Structure 1
C-alpha cells in the first residue's frame, strides 16, 4: 500500500518569495558595484562584482529550481520534479567551492605584487554592500535549515556579506597605513572560511542524491516504533530517503500476525511514520510470516 499527499510542498517552495526578494537586492547591488568599480577604477570592486555575479547566478538557479520543482507529477516523472532543488544545491556548492579556490589563487597573485587601491571609494561601496547582504542574509536565515536549496542560497549571500566585511577591513587598513597586502590577506581568509561550510552543504546534497537516510531521522527508532504497533510481527526491507529537503519517503515489508482489518493497520502504520518521523510518502508491503524473501536489507 502506498500513501502520498499530492499537495505536499517542498521546504524551499514555501519560501520562494523571500528568495526572489534577495535575488532582486543582490542583482541591483551587483549592477551598482560594477558602475562604482568603473567610475573609481577600483579593481577590488570589479573583482567583488564578479563574485557577486556568480552568487546572483546561483540565487537565480535556486529560484528556477523551485519553480521547476513545483511542476506536477506526470507519467514520466511520477514523483514530480522535487530533485531539481537538490541538483541546484549541488551546483551552488560546486560554484561556491570554485569561487573560494579562485579567491585563494587571486590572493596569492596579489601577494606577489599588491596593486594600489582607492580605499575611500572602496569603503563606501563595500559599506552599501554590507547593508544589502545583511538584509538578504536575515531574510534567508530562518529558511536555511529547512532546505538544502535554501541553504545554498543562504551561503551565497553569506559569502557576499563576508566579502563586504573583508573589503571594508582591508579598505580601512589600506586607508590608514597604505599597507596594500591587507587586500589579499583578507581575501584569503574569506576563501578559507567559505570552504568548510560549502563542503558540508555538498555532502548533504549528495546524501539525498544517493538516497541516504534523511538528516534527523533515526531509522532504528522508526523500526522499533512501527514494530510496536499491535498486529505487526516483524518489519524488514526498510528504506528511508528524501525526494528533496522536507519531503521524505519510506518503504517497508511488514509481516502481520493476521489479515483481519488490514486497512486499519495500514492507516496506523502510515500515521505513525507521518506524525512521529515527518515522512511524507509511505509504502508498506503486507506479508504472512512464511513469505520468503531473497534479500533482507535492514
Structure 2
C-alpha cells in the first residue's frame, strides 16, 4: 500500500502538469482519479496500521473495521470523481479545446507504465480483502484512463477530432462507476453487519443439526463480519438427551470453522430450564473454553 501510494502520488503531480499543458481532459480526469487513488492508498495503509492495534476496553474488537471504513470512503470518492468527469466532459464536448497530442501521449504512456507497476505490487497482497480490492479497483481505473488517453492522443493526432477526448473520459467513468458500486455494496454490507457473501445463514441451523451429533436444534443465529475475511457468529444450541455439552459445543465450533470459515463464535447452550440457564462461551476451536454458570 505504501509503495503504491508513493508511486501514484508522485506521478499524479506530473500528470496534472501534463494535462494542463496539453489541454487534455482525459489526462486531467486521470490525474483526478490518481489523486483519489493516492488518498485511497493512504487510507488503506493507515487502516492496516491501525487495524493491528490490540483491543481495549472501549474497542473490544480493536481497530480492524477501520480497514472497511477506508474501503467505503474509497467507493464514495469514486462516485464523486465520476460526477466531476461527466460535468467536465459535457463542457469540453460543447466547447472543444485545442489539445497538444505530443505531451498528452508521452504522459499517458508513462502513466500506463506506472499504473501497471502499482497494480502488480498490490496483487502481491490479499486481493479478496475489501481494502486491497478497493485500491486495486482504483488503480485499474487509472490504468484504463491511461489507455483511453493514449487512444485519444493518437486519434486526435491522425484526425484532429478533439471531442474523442471527453467521450473516452465518459466511457472510462462508466467502467469506474461499475467497480465503485461493487465496492460500495461489499463495504456497506460489512459496516451494517450483514451476513457475509457465500454463507447460507437460513440453512445453517438445519445443516449443523444434521452434521453435529448431540445437536437437537439451533436458534437465534446471527452472522456478520468483523472486517473483510473475518466472519463471526452467535447462536443458541439445543442438545439431544444425554449429549455432553462441552463435547457438543466443541463439535459445533469445528463445524462452523470447517464448513463456513467462521473462526470466532459465541454459542449458548439451551438446556430448556430457565432456572438452570447455562452459557458456554468460547473464542476459537481448540482454545480454552469460557466459564459456565
TM-score, length of structure 1 as denominator length: 0.85
Q: Which residue in the other structure is 1:204 paired with?
A: 186
**In structure 2, what is the equivalent of residue 159 of structure 1?**
141
**Maintained 8 Å contact 1:253/1:284:** yes
Q: Conserved in 2, the CA contact under 8 Å of 1:61 and 1:88?
A: yes
Alpha-carbon distance between aligned partners in 1 of 2:174 and 2:109, rounded to the nearest angstrom: 22
1:222 to partner: Cα distance: 2.9
Rate the CA distance shift 1:41–1:182 in 2: closer, same or farther, 3 A.
Answer: closer
Q: Which residue of 2 aligns with 1:192?
A: 174
From 238, 257, 260, the equivalent of 2:221 is 238
Alignment partner of 1:219 out of 201, 205, 211: 201
Pairwise CA distance, 1:225: 3.0
State the distance in 1 between where 2:249 and 2:119 align: 43
Give yes or no for contact 2:29–2:85 (8 Å, CA) kept in 1: no
Cα deviation, residue 181, structure 1: 0.5
What displacement does 1:269 show?
A: 1.0
Alignment of 1:125-204 (within 5 A): 125-141=107-123, 143=125, 145-204=127-186
How far did 1:143 drift?
Answer: 4.6
The answer to whether 1:119 aligns with 2:101 is yes
For residue 138 of structure 1, report the CA deviation from its aligned partner: 2.8
1:252 to 211, 216, 235: 235
Q: Would the aligned equivalents of 1:144 and 1:154 in 2 still touch at CA under 8 Å?
A: no
3-state SS in 2 of match to 1:234: strand
User: What secondary structure sits across from 2:205 in the alignment?
Assistant: helix
Q: CA deviation at 1:46?
A: 4.3
**Shift in alpha-carbon separation, 1:127–1:164, aligned structure 2, 3 A:** same
Kindly state the Cα deviation for residue 283 of structure 1 after the two structures are TM-superposed. Answer: 0.6
Q: Distance in 2 between matches of 1:126 and 1:64?
A: 29
SS in 1 for 2:231: strand
Structure 1: segments with no counterpart, 5+ residues: 1-18, 293-298
TM superposition shift of 1:139: 3.0
Instruction: Please report the TM-score for the alignment, with normalisation by the length of structure 2.
Output: 0.87
The residue number in structure 1 matching 2:15 is 33
> Which residue of structure 2 aligns with residue 295 of structure 1?
none
Equivalent residues of 2:32, 2:81 under 8 A apart:
no
Tell me the distance in 1 between the aligned counterparts of 2:90 and 2:191.
35
Provide the residue aligned with 2:37 in structure 1: 55
Number of the residue aligned with 2:70: 88
Shift of residue 35, structure 1, vs aligned partner: 4.5
Cα distance in structure 2, aligned partners of 1:102 and 1:37: 16
**Distance in 2 separating the partners of 1:181 and 1:144:** 40
The answer to whether the 8 A contact 1:89-1:205 is kept is yes
What is the aligned counterpart of 2:265 among 276, 282, 288? 282
Counterparts of 2:243 and 2:9, CA distance in 1: 62
Bigger RCO (CA 8 Å, 6+ sep): 1
> Which ranges of structure 2 fall in alignment gaps of 5 or more residues?
276-293
Q: Alpha-carbon deviations, 1:15-62, whole Å to 9, x = none? A: xxxx22222221222233244446x45454445323311211111111
* Contact 1:256–1:289 under 8 Å retained in 2: no
Q: Distance in 2 between matches of 1:105 and 1:144?
A: 35
Once residues 178 and 123 of structure 2 are traced to their aligned partners in structure 1, the CA distance between those partners, rounded to angstroms, is: 18
